[in-house]
Structure 1
Amino acid sequence: MSRLIINRRRFLLGSAALGSGLAVSGCDQFDFLAQRDNRVRAVMERANVLTYSAQRALIGDQVLAREYAQSEIRQGMKPNGSTEPTTPEYMFLREANFEPYRLTIKGMVDREVSFSLAELRNMPSRTQITRHDCVEGWSCIAKWTGTPLGPVLDQAGVRPGARYAVYHCFDNIQRTLSGDVLYYTSSDLVDAYHPQSILSYGLNDQALPVSNGAPIRLRIERALGYKQPKYLHTIELVDDLAPFGRGKGGYWEDNGYDWYGGI
């Protein structure tokens, strides 16, 4: 089983790096990643579905990602991607030390709810020392503290038809002439309810820094780094990912990355 996981990680790192290389270099020989009706892309997407189903079946829903000892933390958590959002909403919250912040749970729920940062910190917490694996090829061990996501979702009453959680962020990852493109990603409810999926507000025994996603960064520890959304403000429960972005379930997923991103 471990060999399967390692091989899958190598495949994902390679394919995601290929997609990011396309975005940076503009090399037209890989234009199929942006062509939703391209046959090669369709084959890759079917392979993603197969590996997602196989990993779910072989590993199980509740198996934990490896956790490490405190002594294995040898450096600070490397910031990557956006490190300082400039949306007016985020800049206002940061200036106010995130006191007006609210995390909203909405969509296919019995009742829409929202929680302040103080309320999230007062809920039962979990601390875990895990390894962050980035598609850029680096990894880093860090200690994360936060509120388990599952019980927070339960407070909203997730409806039986919900299949996915969509994570909306303040992160204006891309600026265009028509306005900011905000980061989002998603997971199925298995990952949302996994015991190591936490709404993290602490990093290495300190408050989560802005560069690492303050005030809240979701940690889905059995997934690659781009599935760990920073600057999270809303979680939307849905039965279909098609209405969001280009319909692939996330900003990077819309640009050719694997939706599942599991390791």
Structure 2
Amino acid sequence: MKENKIFTRRQAIATGLTAIGGLLLPGCSKPLPPTYGKILRMADLLTYTSQRALLPDQSLVKEYHYGDITSFPATGTTNPADNKLRSNSSEEYGRLQKDAFAKWHLSIEGQVARPGKYSIADIQKFPSRTQITRHTCEEGWTAIAQWTGLPLGHLLESVGILPSARFVNFYAYDGWKDSIDLFDAFHPQTILAYGMNGRSLAIPHGAPVRLRVETQVGYKSMKYLKRIVVTDEFSEMLTPGFSWYAGI
């Protein structure tokens, strides 16, 4: 059986700079966000095209020293197990929480050669990255914390993303869902964080694993991860009123 062709990290990043946006302004080489032309996503255009033009080489955001770490509120966070509406996901999260997430698995599927499920132990077998970065909340406050986790790009390389891949969709136990393009997915500081300030990730901060997208505003760093789907088409997943691309 012929093996599916897969992308290397370099090819995926190159795709992120060209085809992911899917559109170009007439007479201009700047890629456009996939939300271009949608009234509720007008802010995406400025931040997306600006960052892609000014930071083409996946420049790192500023990293701080341990002494710079600040208090870090978990505003707006609700333990999925305490969801009053109760869903299959919230009940499942409650069961996993009682067992200290020993049976938790992160599913990765879609446009990949080797879909699978990963436990905390599986994720921690990969080389980790630790970074001290500033979280900029859409509500106007900032905080600095140390995060430890698996660079998302390493996981994507392991499962083998296919040439048709364009976006990475995330689904959480609290019902939140969102996506990023491959360029941000392969950014060195985009990680699946399981540690915060030298300890295991706490429930209010998204245990057992959360996404950290350090190049964008805080709400893109989704908590309570359940499932990752690599896809070839952009899907309008985010709650109306939030920008799909919120670069900082």
Q: Tell me the number of residue pairs that the alignment of Structure 1 and Structure 2 aligns.
A: 204
Asked whether the 8 Å contact 1:105–1:114 carries over to 2, the reply is yes
Tell me how far apart the structure 2 counterparts of residues 43 and 79 of structure 1 sit (CA, whole Å). 30
Please state whether the residue corresponding to 2:176 is helix, strand or coil.
strand
Asked whether the 8 Å contact 1:83–1:210 carries over to 2, the reply is no
Asked whether the 8 Å contact 2:215–2:247 carries over to 1, the reply is yes
Match of 2:186 in 1: 193
Letter in 2 for 1:85: P
Please state whether the residue corresponding to 1:158 is helix, strand or coil.
coil
**Which of 97, 111, 115 is the aligned partner of 1:94?**
97
Q: 1:107 to 1:206 in 2, by over 3 A?
A: same
What is the CA distance between 1:106 and its match in structure 2? 0.4
**Which of 47, 52, 55 is the aligned partner of 1:56?**
52
What is the CA distance between 1:43 and its match in structure 2? 4.8
Match of 1:70 in 2: 66
Match of 2:177 in 1: 184
What is the CA distance between 1:241 and its match in structure 2? 2.7
Q: 1:71-150, aligned counterparts within 5 Å?
A: 71-75=67-71, 77-86=72-81, 87-150=90-153
Please state whether the residue corresponding to 1:200 is helix, strand or coil.
strand
Asked whether the 8 Å contact 1:214–1:230 carries over to 2, the reply is yes
Tell me how far apart the structure 1 counterparts of residues 234 and 74 of structure 2 sit (CA, whole Å). 28
Tell me how far apart the structure 1 counterparts of residues 127 and 105 of structure 2 sit (CA, whole Å). 18
What is the CA distance between 1:161 and its match in structure 2? 1.2
Asked whether the 8 Å contact 2:149–2:193 carries over to 1, the reply is yes
Tell me how far apart the structure 1 counterparts of residues 132 and 147 of structure 2 sit (CA, whole Å). 6
Larger relative helix fraction:
1
What is the CA distance between 1:134 and its match in structure 2? 0.3
In structure 2, runs of 5+ residues without a counterpart are 1-36, 82-89
Q: 1:47 to 1:198 in 2, by over 3 A?
A: closer
Q: Percent identity?
A: 44
Asked whether the 8 Å contact 2:44–2:243 carries over to 1, the reply is yes
Q: Give the alignment's TM-score, normalised by structure 1.
A: 0.74
Tell me how far apart the structure 1 counterparts of residues 96 and 45 of structure 2 sit (CA, whole Å). 39
Match of 2:162 in 1: 159
Match of 2:246 in 1: 261
Farther off after superposition, 52-61 or 141-150 = 52-61
Larger relative strand fraction:
1
Tell me how far apart the structure 1 counterparts of residues 39 and 147 of structure 2 sit (CA, whole Å). 37
Q: Give the alignment's TM-score, normalised by structure 2.
A: 0.78
Please state whether the residue corresponding to 2:169 is helix, strand or coil.
strand
Please state whether the residue corresponding to 2:80 is helix, strand or coil.
coil
Farther off after superposition, 223-232 or 83-92 = 83-92
RMSD over equivalenced CA pairs, Å: 1.5
What is the CA distance between 1:58 and its match in structure 2? 1.0
